Amino acid sequence: MKLRPVAMKLSDNTLSLLKNFSTINQSILFKQGSKLRTISVMKNILAEATVEEELPKDFGIYDLSQFLNGLDLHQSPDLDFTNDNHVVIKEGRMRSKYFFAEPQCIVTPPEKQMELPSEDAVFDLSTDQLDKLLKAASIYQLPDLAVIGGDGVVKVVVRDKKNDASNDFAITVGETSNYFCKNFSFNFKVENIKILPGTYNVVVSQKLISRFTNKNQDLIYYIALEPDSTFG
């Protein structure tokens, strides 16, 4: 049986993923192996990724941003997991001891793999399209993002759905000709679109859940829709 090393480095890609995960939940329970998973405290955003490292053990980090900022004190530190209750971060003459959190203090994803109950809108969203939508939401101070089917097309729109006179910004991402239902409005909060930049395959279910699958790495987000979404 191959033994996992107790000392390791974290790649830049893994650090980038963890920084993103820290915006979803400040805490994380790492599991032995190469799978990272987190869920928001409100349980409306779940993210999971496979990384190149093999973590040697289960351990909890209560303040992930603090932990990552501590790593930034070093150039390329080694993480030593020999001890049961803490990790030693070391590089050259520098040492840091960072204690683990109790697992029961952390909101963790369910063990069961998430599956969508239906696939009612499917489209790709490019890096540039995603960037433009989020920038427009910031520029115009728009709190809502919607996937809208109507007049033969599917659009992703950022808007303020409570204000008929608000500015908006839309990108057409597909056609409704292949869809059973031609008219729908799947609503999200912009603040819940906490995903890494990239190109995504997006699948939306009328059961108020969506899946964003990154097309360039093993990374998936499940994001809840708002209850005022309409279908048909």
Q: What percent of the chain has pLDDT over 70?
A: 97
What are the backbone dihedrals phi and psi of residue 103, each rounded to the nearest 5 degrees, phi first? Answer: -55, -35
Token digits of residue 120: 């009612």
Task: For Cα atoms 96, 101, 103, give the angle at the middle one, nearest 5 degrees.
Answer: 150
CATH topology classification for 121-231: Proliferating Cell Nuclear Antigen (3.70.10)
Q: What is the pTM of this model?
A: 0.94
Average pLDDT estimate for 108-136: 95
The residues of the chain that CATH labels 3.70.10.10 are 7-105, 121-231
Cα–Cα distance, 130 to 75 (Å, whole number):
32
CATH topology classification for 7-105: Proliferating Cell Nuclear Antigen (3.70.10)
What are the backbone dihedrals phi and psi of residue 13, each rounded to the nearest 5 degrees, phi first? Answer: -65, -40
Q: What is the CA radius of gyration of the chain?
A: 20
Average pLDDT estimate for 66-77: 96
Decide: 18 and 64 in contact? Cβ < 8 Å: yes
pLDDT, residue 182, reads: 78
Whole-number average pLDDT of the chain: 94
Give the three-state DSSP class for 17. helix
Token digits of residue 111: 């063990």
Cα–Cα distance, 96 to 70 (Å, whole number):
8
